[in-house]
Amino acid sequence: MVANAMRLDNVVVIIPAYNEEQALPLVLRDLPPVGCVIVVNNGSTDRTREVAERAGAVVVTESRRGYGSACLAGLATLERQLDAGEAEPCVVVFIDADYSDYPEQLTELVRPILDDQADFVLGSRLLGEREPGAMPPQSFHGNRLACWLMKRLFGVSYTDLGPFRAIRYSHLRQLEMADTNFGWTVEMQIKAAKKQLRTLELPVRYRRRIGSSKISGTLWGSVAAGSKILYTIARYGAWRQPIRPTDRIAP
């Protein structure tokens, strides 16, 4: 069953953005029509805010730098909308602003949730088709190491920490997300496992981003991101609870 525009009215998209004036318009152009798009301007010094507003997105500024901080600011904006009387969404989708993901694949990610077949859908770059050079070696191997550690510590199988993901909003609230920087994605995946969410990985295409990466494109960014991801896994692993084999994450 194909998710149509009417059903996507129940979908909110959150896009963290830092100096993405060139790539962001392409992301917004290729997104299917959804209920709301929230762009979080995370301390940009270029025209990111202007191009997002011109495209009709809801734009919020988060001066505290960090991927997790931007995502939390987007969720806080959504909560304010609900307090003002807006309808609660069924699904929240996260996607990067650098045009490395294919926004048109959003319907593939949200369909299992809208059809009540999953609660959390992760777009896996390692299962999908990747443009040469899209994932630097440190990113590729770092993701594999993180997933291997989560399998050892939590007994769940992931292939990627991909940023393109969809989750049922009611369950997202239960996760009580807190990380303010590089640990955001792995925190969500660990908490989803601990909460026994019905989780599905789907292959997504991945291309070279527009502009230079703020994380994998620099030695410091790679080291900082890798260290925080490993710390987050170890932190939650220290208080891990057993996960029933029947609730393992689908490959």
Q: Is the model's pLDDT at 245 over the cut of 70?
A: no
Closest CA to 59 of 42, 83, 46: 42
Average predicted confidence (pLDDT) for the chain: 89
Look at residue 214 in the predicted model and tell me its pLDDT.
Answer: 57
pTM for this model (two decimals): 0.88
Beta carbons within 8 Å of 198's beta carbon, 6+ residues apart? 117, 118, 119, 120
Band of pLDDT at residue 221, cut at 50, 70 and 90? low
Sequence-distant contacts of 57-64: CB under 8 A, at least 24 apart: 57/15, 57/28, 64/180
Q: How many CB atoms lie within 10 A of CB 18?
A: 20
Band of pLDDT at residue 196, cut at 50, 70 and 90? very high
Look up residue 33 and give its amino acid.
P
Band of pLDDT at residue 251, cut at 50, 70 and 90? very low
Q: Is the model's pLDDT at 246 over the cut of 60?
A: no
Residues 2-32 have pLDDT tens digits of: 444 447 999 999 999 999 999 999 999 999 9
Look up residue 32 and give its amino acid.
P
Please tell me the CATH code under which domain 7-240 is placed: 3.90.550.10
CA–CA separation, 33 vs 46, rounded Å? 26
Sheet harboring 36-41: ordered strands across? 58-61, 36-41, 11-17, 91-94, 165-168, 120-124, 199-203
Residues 70-115 have pLDDT tens digits of: 999 999 999 999 999 999 999 999 999 999 999 999 999 999 999 9
Write down the domain spans for the chain: 7-240
